[in-house]
Amino acid sequence: MTTTQKTGGQLVVDMLRSLGVEYVYGVVGGQTLAITDAIIDAPDIEFIHTRHENAAAVMMDAYGRLTGKPAACISTTGPGATNLITGVGGAYRDSSPGFVITCNNNGENIHKDDAQNADHVELIKPLVKYSRLVAHASSIKQAMEEAYINAVTGNPGPVHLDFARDTIEGTVEDPPAVPTVHPSRSWVSERPSTNPVALARVTETVLDAERPVIWLGNGGNRAHASEEVLVLAEALALPVVTTFNGIGAVPTTHPLVFGAVSRMGTALSQRILEESDLVLALGNSLNAVSTGRWKLKLPQVVQVDVDPTMIGRYYSELTDGLVADLGSFSRDLLVAVGSRAEQAKASRRQWIHDLTAARNTWWEHSTPAEENPKSPLSPADVVRALREVSPEDTLLIPDAGNPGVWSFLWDITQPGTYMKPVGFGNMGFALPSAIATTLVDPERPILALIGDGSLGMSLGELETLARVGGNVCIVVLNDASYGNIRQEQELHFDGRTIGVDFDPVNFGIVAQGMGVAGEVIGNLSDLRRRVEESFGAKKPVVLDVPIDRDANAWTYPAFVKKETTIPDLVEQK
């Protein structure tokens, strides 16, 4: 009887297909070839080669954020694997699922002085949910199944498999049958329902509060619970603020959504928390970025999360917890409140009225002073102008640093149209993310807002963008520096700076040299026109915008916490 034979690399690819992986991003090397060669015969998996492994890891992260499903990144041993780590950390800290595949030396030579030797498991393990060496072909299927379940269930995240070279190059005798669609894909997306006893307790807490507020975290993005959360907010007249990582979970244009709270949030959103007597922390870990390293004083907290270890981790003595999916919790709480909702809503009508008036005042603070100011432009004016001419469904991808802070001024009209690195704050995020997301939907408009410092860290991927194509507009906020850190130095070290300034770079010309249309833009009128043209042509473009170095995100009036009350803001109008 003839036995079907295949290599371990072919079995790995069979399992990726079975588990629904559509993209593998990476840089090939000798140790990867048994897997990457097998991808050639897998028409439903596309391999995207990058200029640097970090970009491959970021692309895996972006795909996971956008779709909720894992893609994969792959590298060879040693420096290939270490180059992945920063991007993997971003996926881990922001709860994005994905397969991290490293390919090691032959099993007998791992931990010996072989070429490019490194202990990949020990290096990567702190920044993934699951990590293991696969040194036997008989373990490939089970290891990938276990990794997949870890990546997608509960609080999602990246998982790591390190394959010995002889494991993937050798022949697998009597290979296990691999289903076309793995059965686990049918249940991994299920989330815990609300516990009735805990729900009854929390319901009374919410109804007893005079000024409860929903503080929505990144769990809102991962749960795709925008509609359910907003229906709850509307029924009970609950103002909604988000964490920095929760931006995009709900539209900022909704009447009850009042912006983000973080170390650089807004005066309005910070004041709402201060005036509240109950915080519904939904999918919100109450981490350092959100709470000013836990110096923020909070009232009573009801914390809802799919991960029970997040509940009460901080502010424990103030916290009542409930393990549940955010959508399920929002629906169940509304049912439990029942006819009492109207009375609760009426009692908060004046508070919501005051907040709405204050929000209108807040927005006026960021209105451009001139119709068409000249270069160098205020980054606030740039963001407002970009929003005016970008389609409603544009996916905004701000990079780490100042672009993310200035993006507070971008109106989000649809959930799932915003993506930013927060927990790890890894620079060089926006360009690879734009490439990954345009692969998913080449027609969708994507605007990457990048500082010149971050673009310098990912510049090689402009060639990848040229090769892939897509409806991608790259806007470079160019102040010839690591602007966020320079401004912090100026603020806290008597204007003294070190290690933050660059010589001028014309990124328009650089982009042209790498196959992408590009130019320098000096005024808002030209910027609006070129962005509209870019999205109309549906081809990549880089627009280099020199910005005012004195426009400091740390001291910008709309972002600075004021020692006034909400009514005071309205009266100052």
Q: How confident is the model at residue 564 (pLDDT cuts 50, 70, 90)?
A: very low
Element (H, E) at 9: helix 8-18
CA distance 284 to 249: 12
DSSP letter string over 380-408? HHHHHHHHHHS-TT-EEEE-TTHHHHHGG
Please provide residue 183's backbone torsions phi and psi, each rounded to the nearest 5 degrees: -60, -30
> Which residue's entry shows tokens 């070290």?
493
Distances (CA, A) of 58 to 84, 247, 399, 417: 9, 19, 12, 17
Question: What confidence score (pLDDT) does residue 570 get?
Answer: 37
Question: Is 196-363 CATH 3.10.20.30?
Answer: no
Which residue intervals of 215-307 are DSSP H helices?
219-223, 226-236, 267-275, 288-291
Q: Which residues of 471-480 are buried (b: 16+ CB within 10 A; e: fewer)?
A: bbbbbbbbbb
CA distance 203 to 334: 9
Question: What confidence score (pLDDT) does residue 451 get?
Answer: 97
Question: What confidence score (pLDDT) does residue 5 get?
Answer: 84
Reported as a single tens digit per residue, the pLDDT across 104-160 is 988 788 888 888 889 999 999 999 999 999 999 999 999 999 999 999 999 999 999
Reported as a single tens digit per residue, the pLDDT across 478-537 is 999 999 999 999 999 999 999 999 999 999 999 999 999 999 999 999 999 999 999 999
**pTM attached to this predicted model:** 0.94
Pick the CATH number of 366-546 from 3.40.50.2300, 1.10.10.60, 3.40.50.970, 3.40.50.720: 3.40.50.970
Q: How confident is the model at residue 1 (pLDDT cuts 50, 70, 90)?
A: very low
1-15, 119-133, 343-357: the lowest-pLDDT one = 1-15
What would the 3-class secondary structure string for 135-149 be? CCHHHHHHHHHHHHH
Distances (CA, A) of 83 to 49, 89, 460: 14, 11, 14
The answer to whether the Cα torsion of 464, 467, 473, 476 is positive or negative is positive
Question: What confidence score (pLDDT) does residue 368 get?
Answer: 66
196-363 and 366-546 in the same fold: yes
What would the 3-class secondary structure string for 10-30 be? HHHHHHHHHCCCCEEEECCCH
Q: How confident is the model at residue 263 (pLDDT cuts 50, 70, 90)?
A: low
Question: What confidence score (pLDDT) does residue 65 get?
Answer: 97
Question: What confidence score (pLDDT) does residue 553 get?
Answer: 85
Question: What confidence score (pLDDT) does residue 434 get?
Answer: 98
Distances (CA, A) of 381 to 70, 409, 486: 37, 9, 21
Q: Compute and round to an integer the Cα radius of gyration of the chain.
A: 25
Neighbours of 11 (CB within 10 A): 23
CA distance 68 to 251: 19
CA distance 545 to 523: 8
- HSE, CB side, 13 Å, CA atoms: give it for residue 105: 14
Q: In a 10 Å sphere around its CB, with 0-12 CB exposed, 13-18 middle and 19+ buried, how is residue 550 labelled?
A: exposed
Residue 31 has pLDDT above 70, yes or no: yes
Q: In a 10 Å sphere around its CB, with 0-12 CB exposed, 13-18 middle and 19+ buried, how is residue 146 labelled?
A: middle
CB 239 within 8 A of CB 213: yes
Question: What confidence score (pLDDT) does residue 111 get?
Answer: 87
Reported as a single tens digit per residue, the pLDDT across 396-439 is 999 999 999 999 899 999 999 999 999 999 999 999 999 999 99
Residue 264 has pLDDT above 80, yes or no: no
Reported as a single tens digit per residue, the pLDDT across 292-305 is 889 889 999 999 99
Question: What confidence score (pLDDT) does residue 363 get?
Answer: 80
CA distance 557 to 262: 15
Question: What confidence score (pLDDT) does residue 566 get?
Answer: 38
Amino acid at 228: E
Nearest to 63, CA basis, from 190, 185, 158: 158
Element (H, E) at 448: strand 446-451
**Tally: H helices and E strands in the chain:** 24, 19
Reported as a single tens digit per residue, the pLDDT across 440-482 is 999 999 999 999 999 999 999 999 999 999 999 999 999 999 9
Q: Average per-residue pLDDT in the chain?
A: 92
What is the 8-class DSSP label of residue 116?
A: T
CA distance 435 to 449: 13
Element (H, E) at 73: strand 72-75
Reported as a single tens digit per residue, the pLDDT across 299-323 is 999 999 999 999 999 999 999 999 9
CA distance 437 to 445: 10
Kindly state the average pLDDT of the residues 20-49. Answer: 97
Give domain limits for the chain.
Answer: 6-186, 196-363, 366-546
Nearest to 539, CA basis, from 516, 521, 519: 516
CB 60 within 8 A of CB 91: yes
Question: What confidence score (pLDDT) does residue 310 get?
Answer: 93
The fold of 6-186 is: Rossmann fold (3.40.50)
| Separation of CA 8 from chain center | 33
Percent over 90 (pLDDT), the chain: 83
Select the more confidently predicted residue: 363 or 431.
431
Q: How confident is the model at residue 210 (pLDDT cuts 50, 70, 90)?
A: very high
Question: What confidence score (pLDDT) does residue 265 get?
Answer: 66
Residue 47 has pLDDT above 60, yes or no: yes
Return the structure tokens found at 184: 């686990």
Question: What confidence score (pLDDT) does residue 565 get?
Answer: 40
| Separation of CA 293 from chain center | 21
Which residue intervals of 427-501 are DSSP H helices?
430-440, 452-458, 461-468, 483-492
What is the 8-class DSSP label of residue 542?
A: E
Question: What confidence score (pLDDT) does residue 2 get?
Answer: 42
Residue 80 has pLDDT above 60, yes or no: yes
